[in-house]
Structure 1
């Protein structure tokens, strides 16, 4: 089966799973943002943080036609202004994503001819497509955009998917679905240490060699083109779209974003940058403790991953000494991973955050973990706002709340990084998005919901454009020994199917688990998380970059429940 056919099958299966499992919309009063605030709009008597470290108590922010017109404690409110009471609310600049894949799809791989030579593929077959534009493969209606906007993000630099040189990035705002929302195109060139399967270059070292080759040939092409334009007696240059697409990088008009996943890939990107001289952005950085001096010398922009490793530090009481020693090393590596942001701050290295490869549902939890491990709240906010605005060159109109800047802000019910904070409103490009919030339970109420109440049968229902559907979650056990089975409508149309519920965890009224949907020879991983309130469950189903959908369930009564 051709790769492009597999991709279409996967997409259709994912859509099928969405229709089966996505449930009646919950906890959003007006998430559409279809009404843009065209008249003057004021948020009054709020605690407004205009930039990291600068907070005004009892302040008012006024905006109109997508722009902030005033902010402070003595703001004159024009007649006819719509007013939102900011009592007990906290206003912050809208978050900016340094590298996002929300709504971005991977282009289909080109077909290979019968006489295909894997040692000498075309640029496109080798994953070298610097001429591609991410906006040509972006769905602005994708649910992942709404998920990240609900988390507080209002602007993002979209990065293209693909091979070793996958194309040009673009900056968009998460505003109206009826606007292009484009702030800038061709803002960076995206590169990865990802070779094409079965062709050269197929290894990270091969990618490095090929990147050098493309870069050097682009330099020769640019030089030849300039000489030909100003001299006679020269052969005309051969037009090559790969080399031409590299010219902005050669001229240092745009940087190269290298996606890295460990310190070795970071070293390789730094080596290429030092050798060739291009402007470098390191995205998804996770291991920096041994690279501080190299990072400082390179002047590279650092985009720290918002994803944290899973805690695998539990040890067995009857473990061998060798197992205990191995567990100790794992614990040390895990703790070090949590301190990456604080280490960069301590070393004076300015960084931003990138959401690519992370989940919107884990965003704030991971930030709080970073803060617990030494990252200051001011630097955390800066990495979400002004640092990324400066990294993207948009600080003149974004990153802080000031007169004349875009009306992008996130409004919470409590100080941003506190455990009780919930996003109540997001304003993106002047469009207002409202989200329903839940009152926090008291400690006594929380203690009444423990693992013992989870066991039993839970019935979930689905009400989607594809029709109504449902299934059963059967959970048994208690404490850390929970196991279960979930049934669902088979995506292939063959009745119902079932899967084991994996990694079932319950803490502070929160339930989470995952399961795999098998169809067409593929396994699609589905993550579920949400809140339990007595015999009711309200949460979300997440499929990574394809977005999240609400999920509700009710526990079926048994003799034990009466």
Structure 2
């Protein structure tokens, strides 16, 4: 079944409407265009953090043709330079995403052959496609890319979607949509503990481990056979196998295996494979390290921590009038939640350098969750290092990214206040020599953001997807200091409309985001919406996991007298 057919079956939903993309502390809107720094620019009188722990006040950063020429408090400004006064602004190195699927589409499913054998399926049917490159499925113009740039990311290692071995990653800069933006190709071999479903090998995690061992061993034999054939007469010609050849760079330790792991058990299993075979490994999507700290250190594994944090609804529940059993159960859940918030601090305490990967997370949660990690023991210096220098070192791009110094790419985040302060907002992002400007919201006297738009009311929206246009309504009401709402959409099961609660409704300036859940074809899907509000008009995008991002426009219904 191809992607479009699956989309039509599982989603008749189109989704949303209004939108707030960021967290309540960071406000931006999509620029109407970007401008290229092709000449010489001097950004002066700023507080510049050149690297984690090193800050220069009243400083100037000189840029020419997208490269940093100088940084410091006594930088001579050439006559031809265009001067940008950055009084009271704070400049940081551009953030680096260690593992991202933003802008990456999933390859179409491969039809099973007529003589299909579930115990020995063809590699492509089994989700084993290590020869694929993510760049064949990456679209830098996708709105998800712009969403992540809005929150400060300027470089990302994009990883392929798919099964057990979906392909190879690449490093891209989040610059102009008119450029290829490719920094490095085939930077890691992506691996997952994910088969292509029950009834087909490998369908379990243990099956994936067995298949990985088999492929790795056969790739070693294939590589050795090829070397001997090239240097020795009288040997049988080796057969070309693209699956085995895709492992050669891993065998030679030119690239690591990027293992996606979701818990400590998967971490142990990935490290077991690494110990048996000796390849370099990077653990991505990590969120449980407390029980495997020593295993990670022993393997010298690199870590890409997920900044996705669990929901804290349980911690707010009242259980005083419940039974002792329920109280004890709730206590254990709360303890697990609090431990989850300390995972980054535990890595820092163990002196394990780590970076962040955005797989499975929302851009709107980045700064909010970073602050939560800091509140739970992570130092601000290490948090910034995870976004910059550590990420550059893990990806091997430290020669031209990660810090602000002469000769490096002019990738930077320019903020209104110190990065981890409650009032911090992103005003500009410079990526690959392109400056992206964002709106910042005004502040009330109590320090809270002042919404410049009125979102309360009823909205009618239309969204365009590959399955066609669809629409519904969104009703938003003010509740305390926040908002609550309900959205309607075409019922994926047919028979009219369905509705869902709008979650995490946030508004910063004229930018809004929210999310909601949809049940379709036995699946539970998360949908996020973000965009700009101008008067009674909303223009934005809805994003559905594994299906991409699609435009959504809405109009506010006038109030009736």
Could you give the per-residue CA deviations for residues 123-145 of structure 1, whole angstroms, max 9, x where no partner exists?
A: 11111111000000111111000
Query: Which residue is 1:136 aligned to?
Result: 136
Query: Which residue is 1:148 aligned to?
Result: 148
Query: Which residue is 2:124 aligned to?
Result: 124
Could you give the per-residue CA deviations for residues 303-330 of structure 1, whole angstroms, max 9, x where no partner exists?
A: 0001111113324332111111110110
| Bigger relative contact order (CA 8 A; separation at least 6) | 2
Query: Which residue is 1:192 aligned to?
Result: 192
Query: Which residue is 1:215 aligned to?
Result: 216
**Aligned CA distance change for structure 1 residues 438 and 548 (closer, same or farther; 3 Å):** farther
Query: Which residue is 1:253 aligned to?
Result: 254
Contact 1:261–1:286 (Cα < 8 Å) also in 2: yes
Residue correspondence of structure 1 range 153-302 to structure 2 within 5 A: 153-197=153-197, 198-302=199-303
**Aligned CA distance change for structure 1 residues 203 and 121 (closer, same or farther; 3 Å):** same
**Aligned CA distance change for structure 1 residues 538 and 343 (closer, same or farther; 3 Å):** farther
Offset at residue 4 of structure 1 (A): 3.9
Residue correspondence of structure 1 range 350-499 to structure 2 within 5 A: 350-443=353-446, 457-459=457-459, 472-474=473-475, 485-487=486-488, 490=490, 497-499=497-499
Question: More displaced, 507-516 or 102-111?
Answer: 507-516
Offset at residue 526 of structure 1 (A): 2.9
- For 2:224 and 2:217, the matched residues in 1 are separated by 11
- For 2:2 and 2:70, the matched residues in 1 are separated by 53
Unaligned runs of 5+ in 1: none
Question: More displaced, 308-317 or 376-385?
Answer: 308-317
Offset at residue 511 of structure 1 (A): 8.9
Offset at residue 536 of structure 1 (A): 8.7
> Per the alignment, in what secondary structure is the counterpart of residue 128 of structure 2?
coil
> Per the alignment, in what secondary structure is the counterpart of residue 303 of structure 1?
strand
Offset at residue 57 of structure 1 (A): 0.3
- For 1:10 and 1:41, the matched residues in 2 are separated by 52
Query: Which residue is 2:61 aligned to?
Result: 61
Contact 1:457–1:472 (Cα < 8 Å) also in 2: no
Higher helix share: 1
**Aligned CA distance change for structure 1 residues 319 and 478 (closer, same or farther; 3 Å):** farther
Could you give the per-residue CA deviations for residues 87-135 of structure 1, whole angstroms, max 9, x where no partner exists?
A: 1100000000100101111111210122211111011111111100000
- For 1:79 and 1:532, the matched residues in 2 are separated by 41
Could you give the per-residue CA deviations for residues 246-300 of structure 1, whole angstroms, max 9, x where no partner exists?
A: 0000011100000000000000001000111000000011111111111101011
- For 2:273 and 2:97, the matched residues in 1 are separated by 25
> Per the alignment, in what secondary structure is the counterpart of residue 227 of structure 1?
helix
> Per the alignment, in what secondary structure is the counterpart of residue 250 of structure 2?
helix
- For 1:94 and 1:289, the matched residues in 2 are separated by 29
**Aligned CA distance change for structure 1 residues 440 and 13 (closer, same or farther; 3 Å):** farther
Question: More displaced, 264-273 or 121-130?
Answer: 121-130
> Per the alignment, in what secondary structure is the counterpart of residue 177 of structure 1?
coil
Query: Which residue is 2:23 aligned to?
Result: none
Contact 1:459–1:556 (Cα < 8 Å) also in 2: no
Offset at residue 558 of structure 1 (A): 7.1
- For 2:380 and 2:483, the matched residues in 1 are separated by 36
Contact 2:164–2:193 (Cα < 8 Å) also in 1: yes
> Per the alignment, in what secondary structure is the counterpart of residue 433 of structure 1?
strand
Unaligned runs of 5+ in 2: 21-26
- The answer as to 2:307 corresponding to 1:306 is yes
> Per the alignment, in what secondary structure is the counterpart of residue 348 of structure 2?
helix
- For 1:478 and 1:139, the matched residues in 2 are separated by 39
- For 1:203 and 1:393, the matched residues in 2 are separated by 33
> Per the alignment, in what secondary structure is the counterpart of residue 390 of structure 1?
helix
Query: Which residue is 1:322 aligned to?
Result: 325
Offset at residue 225 of structure 1 (A): 0.9
Contact 1:530–1:537 (Cα < 8 Å) also in 2: no
Question: More displaced, 549-558 or 279-288?
Answer: 549-558
Contact 1:31–1:433 (Cα < 8 Å) also in 2: no
> Per the alignment, in what secondary structure is the counterpart of residue 185 of structure 2?
strand
Paired residues in the alignment total 546
Offset at residue 500 of structure 1 (A): 3.1
Residue correspondence of structure 1 range 332-343 to structure 2 within 5 A: 332-343=335-346
Contact 2:441–2:451 (Cα < 8 Å) also in 1: no
Could you give the per-residue CA deviations for residues 484-528 of structure 1, whole angstroms, max 9, x where no partner exists?
A: 54345x499x99835132557789999976445678897754345
Contact 2:18–2:531 (Cα < 8 Å) also in 1: no
> Per the alignment, in what secondary structure is the counterpart of residue 28 of structure 1?
coil
> Per the alignment, in what secondary structure is the counterpart of residue 543 of structure 1?
strand
TM-score normalised per structure 2: 0.87
